[in-house]
Structure 1
């Protein structure tokens, strides 16, 4: 075995150790831990297609269903499975619930719009399936609470797709922060910059052929179809999406929280707005958010959806600041500086700095998917367990609530819940289409 392979295996084990992984009853429903993982994938227009290819390539896994409400997106998913080298063609279906009825299916993979993430996860858990859900794991804080309760009650693995939890040199960098490479770390800054264009003013339009718009809306109260919504712009509407803070910020805020070893904040504030264009975009394209924690620690976020000027030479990343220096996470790598800005150490991983709005490809998914497969097979908690993932997603939700209310939020550091602000707590949940309320 080469030194490089030994190093990679060591870092993978460190990922488990630093995440505090413990065993939990979550083996395959169908018997042996060595059996094939049978997967259904929901939502395959963009990120879901990458997951179709990734799970098709993953040894010991088979994609049995490709589920999408749009015929064109379904075709993308079916093609991606084929490109992944799977010999057996999966079934293409519009309603993912049909796949949940199949006892042979072990896992539901969810890459549908945000308003579907928690409700679909909960339905899958109730059907006895394990869940791989893309970030964010919820559309609002209450959904995260219900999803966590469902995972515990049904004793299944729920893993979120914040893949950096499994990137080997990110794991090494986070461990370095925890071990004092920059002294006591007290502040972490996260950022994401892109140059997105205007979505314009949408107009009522006929529903495209092949799209089941009613099922696309699913848990969300019904709204008429408009021509600037599907397939990506829903991110920027509160009704279905969660804005850039949860779209991309989830990845980086999670690393901040992980490295600083904090859970819930004491105070949250957020400033910004829709500045770049006058259009239908509702969520902020420019957002500055801060979280204060006990033990003299803070996290900040700078999101610029429409101005792609890099920070630290990269479009998205994290910097940890400590008593003795700074550690910057750059893709699957990191750099350490002393307090005079002298570079002390640089570790370069196997990624590039190029921006990919749909997330990492299979080369950087592989460790995360492998970890998920082994968590299901062996009954262990995955690197991005719902317990840890939900804490990071909640921070982002709190940032959006602070933005939408326009005021400082005080939070219970034991639970993350907002205190003494009934109006802000109105955004803790949402209204659902009749019959779609997520229940354990």
Structure 2
């Protein structure tokens, strides 16, 4: 069956083709893995659908605080599952875990809802795939690592640039080969625009449990444009583009160059170009330095004005003594310093092998190969009892480093990091802010209480 035939048959053709295409990148299992999804929005469904392509699964439960969203996800999964079964739907992740006892849990919620479900899933005996950044504050990340280790669980983070074919090719051909020579400076950047403001607050719709949506975060009133895709413009629920976009390429650079924690983090910026009365409370400008002694990594965020590189509005540029390597989710360019020809490679397109990706309109076709391979690595790692490529500890280092950049910006000073004890050196105020206060009766996880 080719792509045209598939599309003519419509979405229901995905059932048979999903089973067929899963043989291209597949794991073997004696029986389908029992899977639950917590957070049924954009990337939650994306992760689940790609998992269904690479492993035999039985989706037994879906959870979301938006009843319309979880019901629609249940219908979609029923079309894709070979059994045709509609998963049970839930509004509380704790009920899903207790009722269904899933073997695998995917967490695709907004960032402020990553920690608690991951910790509870580990306690319940599930292995977990959680989206990045893993946490909203540093101590949450410490607790998530502690839970994975204490309960012996495999926890993979959706930092899928580590599994993206064209980026790995660029690493092998130009970095590991030594073609670039010595490398001393890396620029990570985002020149994407951002929201100016939200409409005035209104009562949430009946199908949305807004109190549960806010959960452990500081209270924020509902805005019509906030849910489902604009929560990253709210500091209560995210760390802005630093936690969203910087973390992807910062983590990739750590992976490429085998880097641990930065020695120090220093950042400046703020909300410099939004109206003074804007109710968007994340920064639109930031410059951050992650210091690795002989290697300097810089994050540049400017969500306004002209984009200085139309082909690379978000990405990383690696400067070497013999050439420059530009990386994005769509392509890479290697530019030799000797005036030689620029070499360009585009991202891999697997839509011919996986035409169901085109039916699910939210699929990022350019990102799908990396997402599939990341999920495949997760399932294989849990089978083989080894750490996955983006183990929770790696996700913690990358996420927490970006959180420290925001903290440095807010405090107005550099932060020197004690990697062994995971504390800011000589800065009691900064250390107090490594964990934020949870709302109401929600208990903030720590390594000591998980």
TM-score of the alignment, normalized to the shorter chain, above 0.5 = yes
Q: After superposition, what is the alpha-carbon deviation per residue over 1:364-423, rounded to whole angstroms, capped at 9, x for unaligned?
A: 421111111211222222111112111111211111111111222222355553211122
Q: CA deviation at 1:68?
A: 0.5
Equivalent residue for 2:404, pick from 398, 406, 419: 398
Equivalent residue for 1:196, pick from 194, 197, 201: 194
Q: Which runs of 5+ in 1 are unaligned?
A: 1-11, 13-31
Aligned positions of 1:326-365 closer than 5 A: 326-331=324-329, 333-343=331-341, 345-351=343-349, 362-365=368-371
Secondary structure in 2 aligned to 1:321? Answer: strand
Quick one: distance in 2 between partners of 1:419 and 1:196?
34
Q: Which residue of 1 aligns with 2:212?
A: 215
- Cα gap change, 1:92 to 1:181, in 2 (>3 Å): same
- Cα gap change, 1:158 to 1:169, in 2 (>3 Å): same
Aligned positions of 1:73-152 closer than 5 A: 73-82=69-78, 84-86=80-82, 87-102=84-99, 104-152=101-149
Equivalent residue for 1:382, pick from 385, 388, 391: 388
- Cα gap change, 1:216 to 1:245, in 2 (>3 Å): same
Secondary structure in 2 aligned to 1:101? Answer: helix
Equivalent residue for 1:50, pick from 38, 46, 52: 46
Q: After superposition, what is the alpha-carbon deviation per residue over 1:124-143, rounded to whole angstroms, capped at 9, x for unaligned?
A: 10111111000110111111
Kindly indicate whether residue 320 of structure 2 is the aligned counterpart of residue 314 of structure 1: no
- Cα gap change, 1:49 to 1:424, in 2 (>3 Å): same
Q: After superposition, what is the alpha-carbon deviation per residue over 1:293-327, rounded to whole angstroms, capped at 9, x for unaligned?
A: 13x11111122334572637222211211222222
Equivalent residue for 2:423, pick from 412, 417, 423: 417
Equivalent residue for 2:434, pick from 414, 428, 436: 428
Q: Which residue of 2 aligns with 1:26?
A: none
Quick one: distance in 2 between partners of 1:373 and 1:428?
32
- Cα gap change, 1:80 to 1:55, in 2 (>3 Å): farther
Q: Which runs of 5+ in 2 are unaligned?
A: 1-24, 351-360
Q: CA deviation at 1:357?
A: 9.5
Q: Which residue of 1 aligns with 2:379?
A: 373
- Shifted more, 335-344 versus 107-116: the winner is 335-344
Quick one: distance in 2 between partners of 1:121 and 1:365?
19
Tell me the number of residue pairs that the alignment of Structure 1 and Structure 2 aligns: 406
Alignment check: 8 A CA contact 2:329 2:367 kept: no
Q: CA deviation at 1:88?
A: 2.2
Kindly indicate whether residue 232 of structure 2 is the aligned counterpart of residue 235 of structure 1: yes
- Shifted more, 47-56 versus 307-316: the winner is 307-316
Quick one: distance in 2 between partners of 1:229 and 1:183?
46
- Shifted more, 55-64 versus 319-328: the winner is 55-64
Q: Which residue of 1 aligns with 2:253?
A: 256
Alignment check: 8 A CA contact 1:185 1:260 kept: no
Alignment check: 8 A CA contact 1:168 1:332 kept: no
Q: Which residue of 2 aligns with 1:206?
A: 203
TM-score between both structures, scaled by the size of structure 2: 0.83
Q: CA deviation at 1:223?
A: 4.5
Quick one: distance in 1 between partners of 2:399 and 2:306?
24
- Cα gap change, 1:412 to 1:299, in 2 (>3 Å): same
- Shifted more, 411-420 versus 72-81: the winner is 411-420
Secondary structure in 2 aligned to 1:174? Answer: helix
Quick one: distance in 2 between partners of 1:243 and 1:46?
17
TM-score between both structures, scaled by the size of structure 1: 0.84
Kindly indicate whether residue 179 of structure 2 is the aligned counterpart of residue 181 of structure 1: yes
Q: CA deviation at 1:54?
A: 2.1
Alignment check: 8 A CA contact 1:39 1:65 kept: yes
Secondary structure in 2 aligned to 1:428? Answer: coil
* CA-atom RMSD in angstroms: 2.7
Q: Which residue of 2 aligns with 1:285?
A: 284
Alignment check: 8 A CA contact 1:37 1:373 kept: no
- Cα gap change, 1:58 to 1:98, in 2 (>3 Å): farther
Quick one: distance in 1 between partners of 2:46 and 2:437?
32
Q: Which residue of 2 aligns with 1:437?
A: 444
Q: Which residue of 2 aligns with 1:36?
A: 32
